[in-house]
Amino acid sequence: MRQFIIGIICLISASIQAQQRDSLLETYFASLSAYHLYDGNIALAEKGHKVYAYSGGYADYTAQKPNTAQSRFNLASVSKIFTSTAILQLKDKRKLKLDDEVAKYLPSFPFKGVTIRHLLTHTSGLPNLELYEEVIKQYPDSIIFNAVVLPLLRQWKKGLYFTPGDQFRYCNTNYTLLALITEKVTGISFPAYLEENIFIPAGMKDTYVSIYGSNKDTLCVKQQIKPTYYDSVYLPADQVKRYRYSEYNNQASIGASNIITTMDDMIKFDNAFFSGKLLSLSTVEEAITPLKLNNGKEYTEQMDTMLGEGTGQYGLGWEIFNQPAYGKGVGHGGFKFGLATFYYHNLDRKQMLVAYTNGNSRFGDNVTSCFYMLNNQPPIPLDFKTSAVRAYAKALMEKGPDHAACMLHLYMADTTHYYFNTREMNFLGYDFLYQSNHKSHQQWSLETFKLNTFLDPANFNTYDSYAEALLECGHKEDAVIMYRKSLELNPVSQDGIKAMKKLGLMRK
């Protein structure tokens, strides 16, 4: 009888906690929606079952098309988990060994001593996207496919950055090579392998690898971004000049990125992976074990995306989160300009979250808050304030510098509705200087940088930035004064030293 009563009490307590959690989540997401603070999708699951999902904002701002539960997002670097799983499946089937050298499977690979394990753990020493820079300079409209990686590595003159296994250095090239190894070992295309061996077994019917030139999926969201601090309109990221290299030239690579999926399909993957449906459970454990460098020490870093107390590590394609209050979690973050993604699985609490954003968000705050609320803890307080710098930019462009300066005083005094950040002011100055084509763009830049030297007078960088703009606009004498002021505050500033040497005012 006593055990029965205890059981009833436990059920009642669990029900109350679930109601409290639902209330926290409802209130939080209602605020996000009301104030338009999150573009994208978020799903939370516990013990394999979805407990909450949210869709907000627009999948396509231009068409005013809203995000829905069916919206499909590019996972960006979260795709690396799937590439890792493919390689580990081949390991389980004894078709390869993790300590085999890459050249065993890709004979034209030019570097000895680099193993599959080095690729999985980002300890290879290989170049990242800089591998393609010379090709893009010569052929600006080129799209980089996996097929060019090996030829370009053979042409790479700088060698490995370090002895394989000595350091951790995040590198997308590693995962492009892993996709090529998968194709070499299996004899089928990488997308076909994932479809047959991961997506179908996990029940992921709305997931696929995006192949450049063939993706006509109307449910796939747009990568969209406000290009500058003075812009108020979202544009496709691959059409913005400053992001052309990563989002246009480098958009075709698979293995490191470009898996398209939904919230619900990621929950299905999570269930399949941690139940041993895709890999042996011993290999699952191996995948989420922290890597050790050649010196025998486990690599440790800051946590990615998840905020709060804790440290991060890396396994075989998995980021590892060690949080004192919540235990061990694993997953991965992803980023492309105009898009961010995050997948997290807490091993101790059997909780999972997946988050995608393609517009407005405070992604780290939002993701961390969701995990807190999943555990009946209050979220990080929402910040409803508007950027004073963006408001200043609008005033400057519409009515000139005097009006804008007056309005900035008002914005900065109104701390209930506005926040001010001198780093944003610095970014705005550079946006005006290098991104705008307006006839007044140089004057707007000078006004912004000049004002920032008074707002942040102890920061050497404000003078350095102002000096750069003065020099760019032909005011050499004034630029020298500002460079000297910058170097007074920071005598070892490399930008300041380089500029003064170029001006012939310091010895080279």
pLDDT band at 227 (very low <50, low <70, confident <90, very high): confident
Q: Quick one: DSSP state of residue 196?
A: I
pLDDT exceeds 50 at position 52 = yes
Contact of 122 with 314, CB cutoff 8 Å: yes
Phi, then psi, of 327 in degrees rounded to 5: 90, -160
For 102, half-sphere exposure in the C-beta direction (CA atoms, 13 angstrom radius) is 26
Phi, then psi, of 310 in degrees rounded to 5: 150, 170
pLDDT exceeds 60 at position 352 = yes
pLDDT exceeds 60 at position 13 = no
Q: Quick one: DSSP state of residue 352?
A: E
Look at residue 215 in the predicted model and tell me its pLDDT.
74
Contact of 54 with 29, CB cutoff 8 Å: yes
Query: For 163-214, how does the pLDDT look when each residue is reduced to its tens digit (9 = 90+)?
Result: 999 999 999 999 999 999 999 999 999 999 999 999 999 999 999 999 998 8
Look at residue 9 in the predicted model and tell me its pLDDT.
47
d(CA 211, CA 333): 21
Average pLDDT over residues 289-309: 94
Look at residue 238 in the predicted model and tell me its pLDDT.
86
Look at residue 130 in the predicted model and tell me its pLDDT.
95
pLDDT band at 8 (very low <50, low <70, confident <90, very high): low
pLDDT exceeds 50 at position 378 = yes
Query: Quick count: other Cβ atoms within 10 Å of Cβ 328?
Result: 16
Look at residue 400 in the predicted model and tell me its pLDDT.
95
d(CA 75, CA 331): 12
Residue 153 or residue 504, greater confidence: 153
Question: Across the chain, what does the average pLDDT equal?
Answer: 93
Look at residue 229 in the predicted model and tell me its pLDDT.
84
Strands 386-387 and 418-419: parallel
The domains found in the chain, sorted by start residue, are: 74-374 (3.40.710.10), 386-502 (1.25.40.10)
> How much of the chain, in percent, has pLDDT values that exceed 90?
84
Query: For 361-370, how does the pLDDT look when each residue is reduced to its tens digit (9 = 90+)?
Result: 999 999 999 9
Q: Give the amino acid at 378.
A: P
Secondary structure of residue 429 in the 3-state scheme? helix
pLDDT band at 11 (very low <50, low <70, confident <90, very high): very low
Average pLDDT over residues 254-282: 97
d(CA 356, CA 378): 21
Query: For 94-131, how does the pLDDT look when each residue is reduced to its tens digit (9 = 90+)?
Result: 999 999 999 999 999 999 999 999 999 999 999 999 99
Average pLDDT over residues 284-308: 95
Q: Quick one: DSSP state of residue 382?
A: P
**Tokens at 71, concatenated:** 């919206």
Look at residue 239 in the predicted model and tell me its pLDDT.
85
How far the first Cα of the chain sits from its last, in Å, is: 87
Contact of 117 with 212, CB cutoff 8 Å: no
Rounded to the nearest angstrom, the gap between the alpha carbon of residue 276 and the centroid of all alpha carbons in its chain is 28
> How much of the chain, in percent, has pLDDT values that exceed 70?
96
Contact of 354 with 266, CB cutoff 8 Å: yes
Q: Quick one: DSSP state of residue 77?
A: G
Query: Quick count: other Cβ atoms within 10 Å of Cβ 188?
Result: 13
